[in-house]
């Protein structure tokens, strides 16, 4: 059951990334500067690679908005890939331009290359890399920014933070860990946390497994490239006693409050009025300057994996992407519970 729906398209070195969003009410103000500031955040963070020096991601709105407000029709967002200038022939859609420049057959362990080549019957792993690249998260962050503009109208707020990078737990340690990894041609993962505040009680439902908000959020965050675990609330729940874990209820000035929030704002698959807290761990990026042992799928010989310009660590970007994904899940839930055709419905 989806009201806020969208598709994205685009290859990492293709002309552009696009997204078509459907289901937002009319008369929502669309602040383009806000969308661009979210895109800028995604590009930032310590440990990002050379591509981020080429791109300065900005959105162009191609449909669904007139004079700064949605009009109820599908919204098309477009982000140009500046790097396309350097890839026009290699990424051409024209059969006459066919080339093996930038083709590769040595699959990177941990990436989509191997399984993707078998699934889609592709000899040139470039055809797998281009769409499996985390570049597509730029379009997702733009969609998330539009969802955030919608959520903002209801006083909903959000934030995210980095909990760990490698074995570092403070900003200074993050930088040292990343510098060390870079110096040895290595890569690093980490752990992030996203919080959403002021959510109404009762988003999601316990009545069917696929309406549980915990499950919907888990899928949205788990499918961020390189994310391997997702937790809601206190992730030490498995080793706590019921008396320690469950959030006891009290009355404060006649208002029901939980004094703890181990449940992370969700009970029975529904928001319970407390802050929604989701954490995720990201594995180290699989594109490695010091290549890993692998197979050349063309010769079937053991060799070293392909290296292509990459990031040493993208955990900060992951936090921005996770905020975006949670935003679009929550926007959908808000529309399911309260949605209409326009921001203010008249009888």
Q: Which of residues 22 and 83 has its CB atom nearest to ligand EPS in the complex?
A: 83
Residue entry with tokens 């009410």: 25
Give the shortest CB-258-to-ligand EPS separation in angstroms: 37
327 exposure class (CB count in 10 Å sphere: 0-12, 13-18, 19+): buried
Q: Does 113 bind ligand EPS (CB under 6 A)?
A: no
Interaction of residue 138 with ligand EPS, rule CB under 6 A: yes
> Is residue 287 within the footprint of ligand EPS (CB under 6 A)?
yes
Contact positions with ligand EPS (CB under 6 A) in 79-108: 83
CB of 42 or CB of 191, closer to ligand EPS: 42
Q: How far is CA 283 from the centre of its chain?
A: 14
**Helix (H, G, I), strand (E, B), or coil: what is residue 209?**
helix
Site string for ligand EPS, 290-309 (x = CB under 6 A): ------------------xx
Torsion angles phi and psi, residue 79, rounded to 5: -120, 120
Q: How far is CA 161 from the centre of its chain?
A: 14
> Closest Cα partner for 215 from 205, 225, 200, 224?
205
Q: What is the DSSP letter of 109?
A: T
**What is d(CA 308, CA 287) in angstroms, rounded to the nearest whole number?**
7
Sign of CA dihedral 283, 222, 169, 39: positive
CA distance 73 to 78: 16
Q: Is 231 helix (H, G, I), strand (E, B) or coil?
A: strand
User: Closest approach of Cβ 252 to ligand EPS, in Å?
Assistant: 44
Q: Does 310 bind ligand EPS (CB under 6 A)?
A: yes
Helices (H) and strands (E) in the chain, counts: 9, 16
Q: Is 135 an interacting residue with respect to ligand EPS (CB under 6 A)?
A: yes
Q: Report, in Å, the least distance between residue 53 CB and ligand EPS.
A: 10
Q: Binding segment for ligand EPS among 128-136, 152-160, 203-211, 323-331 (CB under 6 A)?
A: 128-136
Q: Are 142 and 276 in contact (CB under 8 A)?
A: no
Q: Counting contacts by CB under 6 A, is residue 272 touching ligand EPS?
A: no
Question: Applying CB under 6 A, does 112 fall inside the site for ligand EPS?
Answer: no
Q: How many residues does the chain have?
A: 347
CB hemisphere CA count around 33 (13 angstroms): 0
Q: Pick between residue 18 and residue 63 the one whose CB is nearest to ligand EPS.
A: 18
Residue 216 is a binding residue for ligand EPS (CB under 6 A): no
Distance in Å, CB of 158 to ligand EPS, minimum:
21
Which of 44/68 has CB closer to ligand EPS?
A: 44
Please select the residue that binds ligand EPS; options are 8, 14, 51, 221, rule is CB under 6 A.
Answer: 51
CB-nearest residue to ligand EPS: 51
| 225 in contact with ligand EPS (CB under 6 A) | yes
Q: Given candidates 12, 164, 234, 262, which one binds ligand EPS under the rule CB under 6 A?
A: 12
Q: How many Å apart are CA 187 and CA 166, to the nearest integer?
A: 9
Stretch of residues binding ligand EPS (CB under 6 A), selected from 63-71, 132-140, 170-178, 330-338: 132-140
Positions touching ligand EPS (CB under 6 A) are 12, 49, 51, 83, 133-135, 137-138, 225, 285, 287, 308-311
């Amino acid at each position: 059951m989806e009201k806020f729906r969208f598709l994205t398209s685009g290859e990492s070195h293709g002309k552009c990334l696009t997204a078509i969003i459907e289901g937002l009410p009319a008369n929502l103000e669309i602040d383009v500067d806000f969308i661009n500031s979210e895109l800028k955040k995604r590009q930032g963070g310590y440990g990002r690679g050379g591509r981020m020096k080429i791109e300065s991601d900005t959105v162009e709105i191609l449909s669904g908005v007139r004079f700064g407000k949605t009009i109820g029709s599908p919204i098309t967002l477009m982000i140009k890939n500046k790097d396309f200038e350097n890839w026009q022939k290699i990424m051409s859609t024209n059969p006459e331009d066919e080339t093996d420049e930038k083709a590769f057959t040595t699959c990177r362990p941990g990436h989509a290359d191997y399984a993707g080549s078998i699934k889609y019957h592709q000899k040139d792993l470039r055809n797998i890399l281009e769409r499996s690249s985390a570049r597509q998260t730029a379009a997702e962050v733009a969609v998330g920014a539009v969802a955030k503009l919608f959520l903002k109208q209801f006083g909903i707020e959000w934030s995210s933070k980095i909990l760990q990078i490698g074995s570092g737990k403070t900003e200074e340690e993050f930088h040292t860990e990343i510098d060390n990894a870079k110096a040895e041609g290595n890569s690093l993962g980490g752990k992030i946390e996203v919080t959403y505040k002021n959510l109404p009680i009762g988003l999601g439902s316990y009545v069917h497994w696929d309406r549980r908000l915990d499950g919907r959020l888990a899928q949205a965050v788990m499918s961020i490239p390189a994310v391997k675990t997702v937790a809601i609330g206190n992730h030490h729940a498995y080793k706590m006693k019921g008396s320690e874990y469950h959030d006891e209820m009290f009355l404060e000035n006649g208002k029901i409050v939980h004094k703890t929030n181990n449940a992370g704002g969700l009970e029975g698959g529904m928001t319970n009025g407390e802050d929604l807290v989701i954490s995720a761990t990201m594995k180290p990026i699989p594109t490695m300057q010091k290549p890993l042992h692998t197979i050349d799928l063309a010769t079937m010989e053991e060799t070293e994996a392909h290296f292509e310009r990459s990031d040493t660590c993208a955990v900060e970007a992951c936090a921005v992407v996770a905020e975006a994904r949670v935003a679009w899940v929550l926007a959908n839930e808000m529309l399911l519970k309260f949605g209409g055709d326009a921001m203010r419905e008249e009888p």
